[in-house]
Every structure is written in structure tokens, then in C-alpha cells.
């Protein structure tokens, strides 16, 4: 039997000038954050949630649509839709 246990790391940080926060090294290393990497910041139930965003935007799109993104495939779908609906 396999059990999955979520590991939580908590560190104290100080809010600096202009409301900047330095993410502690232990957390940066655990998550694999890199300087200059984009993150998603949101407020949820009185908490601040910071999630790293993938550096590849196509990876985000793949997660949303549930399949690898293909520009050629989407162009083909768009052309078929236009042909079907153009005469309306």
C-alpha cells in the first residue's frame, strides 16, 4: 500500500519596503525557484498563496486543455470552423 504525505516547510519572512518579501533559501531550494522566475500570487481565505509558474507557456496551456498544444492542429480546427460557419 502506498501513502502520499504532503510535506510542509514553514519559514518566517519579513515584509520590506514596497511590500517585498524574500523567500527563504530552504523554500526556494525545495521548490526549485530561480531568480527572475514568474509566480502567481493570490489571496485565499486570509492567506497569501505564491505558486511558481512554468517557464514554458505551452506547458500551462497543455495543463488547461489536457493535451499537448499544437499550433498547426489549432489552425486546422479554426479553418474547419470558419468554413463551416462562414456561410451563415
Whether residue 2 has pLDDT greater than 70: no
Residue 40: inside a domain, yes or no?
yes
Instruction: Please tell me whether residues 69 and 80 are part of one structural domain.
Output: yes
Of 7-11, 15-19, 22-26, 69-73, the one with minimum mean pLDDT is: 69-73
- pLDDT(79) > 60: yes
pLDDT at 7 over 90: no
Domain of residue 24: give its range. Answer: 8-53
Whether the Cβ atoms of residue 9 and residue 26 lie closer than 8 Å to each other = yes
Distances (CA, A) of 56 to 9, 38, 84: 26, 11, 33
* Structural contact between residues 27 and 9, judged by C-beta atoms closer than 8 angstroms: yes
Compute how many other C-beta atoms are within 10 angstroms of the C-beta atom of residue 62.
Answer: 14
How much is the pLDDT for 62? 83
- CA gyration radius, the chain: 21
Look up the pTM and report it: 0.56
> Is there a single domain that holds both residue 35 and residue 63?
no
Q: What is the pLDDT of residues 31-75, one digit of tens each?
A: 999 999 999 999 999 999 999 988 787 877 788 888 887 788 888
In a domain, 1, yes or no: no
- Give yes or no: residues 49 and 59 share one domain: no
In this prediction, residue 4 has a pLDDT band, given cuts at 50, 70 and 90, of low
Q: How far apart are CA 69 and CA 60, in angstroms?
A: 10
Q: Are residues 49 and 12 in the same domain?
A: yes
Amino acid at each position: 500500500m502506498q501513502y502520499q504525505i504532503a510535506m510542509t516547510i514553514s519559514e518566517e519572512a519579513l515584509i520590506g519596503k514596497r511590500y517585498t518579501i524574500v523567500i527563504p533559501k530552504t523554500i526556494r531550494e525545495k521548490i526549485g525557484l530561480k531568480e527572475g522566475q514568474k509566480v502567481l500570487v493570490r489571496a485565499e481565505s486570509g492567506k497569501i498563496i505564491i505558486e511558481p509558474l512554468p517557464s514554458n507557456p505551452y506547458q500551462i496551456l497543455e495543463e488547461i486543455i489536457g493535451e499537448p498544444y499544437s499550433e498547426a492542429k489549432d489552425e486546422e480546427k479554426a479553418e474547419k470552423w470558419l468554413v463551416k460557419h462562414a456561410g451563415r
